Structure 1
């Protein structure tokens, strides 16, 4: 008797469709957590050029996945430091010329010539941070970042 009830219950559960089906009954992709496409946001590109501003402040949400393209125009050897920011995020990958690097963490990045890299990360620790050009003193050479 019990085995018959179990069989009927299992059959009913299988016929009901996946737990992630849309309200209208259509199958949708299963949830994928923090790396789900619905959780991803592209940030404005950062352009590294000698004497030019880095861009508008970022306002990020903890637990959200972000991607940013950082491009150097080749006007000089230039980099970005931000140890506090890099400790407040989980770096998923750094992509340079189609090569994916999955580091345990970052401290800084540097361009010796023109090029682009993409960094994918999850904001983790709320606070105020920045990315800045080493040795630069101007306020426009700093990208303010807030993680809420």
Structure 2
């Protein structure tokens, strides 16, 4: 191999090492989540009030969503298509940290809260709702771009 070819190959190898190190240096995108506005389920004045009806998200960005139950009634929050289109890092509830591949629902039988840490991986519009209470206005949408 000639000198010029060795320099080119060596330069390319050095570039690849720096490029791969730079991408690793950016860090784990799941570790610095953006805090979303809390999703509060019901109030003393209106047990069927949702604090948020829409969340705008981006694929590849880490988020933390706190879901808070007022305890005014039983709430079963579901978002089947959304839950299938995210990377779920963990759920924190009470003194527990739950690590799972996916969610089916968050059910609150009384007052309480849970924090969901996730990264959207698929764009689209995904409905969320409290099962059986949709006609009372307990539904919203995740818009992922």
> With structure 2 as the length reference, what TM-score do the two structures score?
0.75
Measured after TM superposition, the shift of residue 97 of structure 1 is 1.2
- RMSD across aligned C-alpha pairs, in angstroms? 1.7
CA contact (8 A) 2:53 2:139 kept: no
Q: Which runs of 5+ in 2 are unaligned?
A: 1-20
The answer on whether the counterparts of 2:68 and 2:112 sit within 8 Å (CA) in structure 1 is: yes
Cα deviation for residue 54 of structure 1 reads: 4.1
* Residue-by-residue CA offset, 1:16-40 (whole Å, 9 max, x unaligned): xxx76xxxxxxxxx43132242xx2
Stretches of structure 1 that go unaligned for 5 or more consecutive residues are 1-18, 21-29
1:48 Cα deviation after fit: 1.0
Deviation at 1:122, TM superposition (A): 0.4
* Structure 2 counterpart of 1:85, from 82, 85, 93: 82
Aligned length, in residue pairs: 119
Runs of 4+ in structure 1 off by over 6 angstroms are: none
Q: SS where residue 33 of structure 1 aligns?
A: coil
2 CA distance for matches of 1:142 and 1:75? 17
Q: TM-score, normalised by structure 1?
A: 0.74
